[in-house]
A and B are shown apart, each in its own frame.
Chain A
Amino acid sequence: MNNPLEKLSSTVVMGVVLTVIMVAVLAAIA
Chain B
Amino acid sequence: MDLFNEVWGLFMMRWLHVISGVMWIGLLWYFNFVQIPNMGKIPDDQKPAIGKVIAPAALWWFRWAALATLATGLILAGWQGYILDAITLGIVGAAEDGFVIKHCAIGIGMWMGIIMAFNVWGVIWPNQKKALGMVQVDAASKKKAARTAMLFSRTNTLLSIPMLYAMVSAQNIY
The residue in chain A whose Cβ has the minimal distance to the Cβ of B153 is A5
Chain B residues within 8 Å of A, Cβ to Cβ: 32-33, 36-37, 99, 101, 104-105, 108, 150-151, 154-155, 157-162, 165-166, 169, 174
Task: Report how far A8 CA is from B34 CA in the complex, Å.
Answer: 11
Contacts known (A8-B32, A15-B159, A15-B162); A29 close to B154, Cβ less than 8 A:
no
**Cβ contact within 8 Å between A22 and B154:** no
> Which A7-28 residues have a C-beta within 8 angstroms of B?
8, 11-12, 14-16, 18-19, 22-23, 26
**Cβ contact within 8 Å between B158 and A22:** no
**Cβ contact within 8 Å between A11 and B165:** no
Candidates A5, A6, A14, A26; contact of B104 at CB < 8 Å: A26
Task: Report the number of A-B residue pairs with Cβ-Cβ less than 8 Å.
Answer: 51
Candidates A16, A22, A30; contact of B101 at CB < 8 Å: A30
**Cβ contact within 8 Å between B158 and A8:** no
User: Whole-angstrom distance from the CB of B69 to the nearest CB of chain A?
Assistant: 18
Interface of A is mostly: helix
The residue in chain A whose Cβ has the minimal distance to the Cβ of B166 is A22
**Cβ contact within 8 Å between B162 and A19:** yes
Residues in A neighbouring B105, C-beta threshold 8 A: 26
**Cβ contact within 8 Å between A12 and B157:** yes
What are the nearest 4 A-B pairs in CB distance? A15-B161, A5-B154, A19-B162, A15-B158
